[in-house]
Amino acid sequence: KQEVTQIPAALSVPEGENLVLNCSFTDSAIYNLQWFRQDPGKGLTSLLLIQSSQREQTSGRLNASLDKSSGRSTLYIAASQPGDSATYLCAAWGYKLSFGAGTTVTVRA
Partner 1 sequence: GAGVSQSPRYKVAKRGQDVALRCDPISGHVSLFWYQQALGQGPEFLTYFQNEAQLDKSGLPSDRFFAERPEGSVSTLKIQRTQQEDSAVYLCASSLAFVDGQIASSYNEQFFGPGTRLTVL
In whole angstroms, how close is the CB of 72 to partner 1 at the nearest point? 17
Restricting to residues 8-37, which ones interact with partner 1 according to CB under 8 A?
Answer: 31-32, 34, 36
* Residue 102 touching partner 1 (CB under 8 A): yes
Question: Pattern of binders to partner 1 over 61-90, x per CB under 8 A?
Answer: ----------------------------x-
* Cα gap 86→37, rounded to integer Å: 7
Residues that bind partner 1 in the complex, under the rule CB under 8 A: 4, 31-32, 34, 36, 41-46, 49, 51-53, 89, 91, 93, 95-102
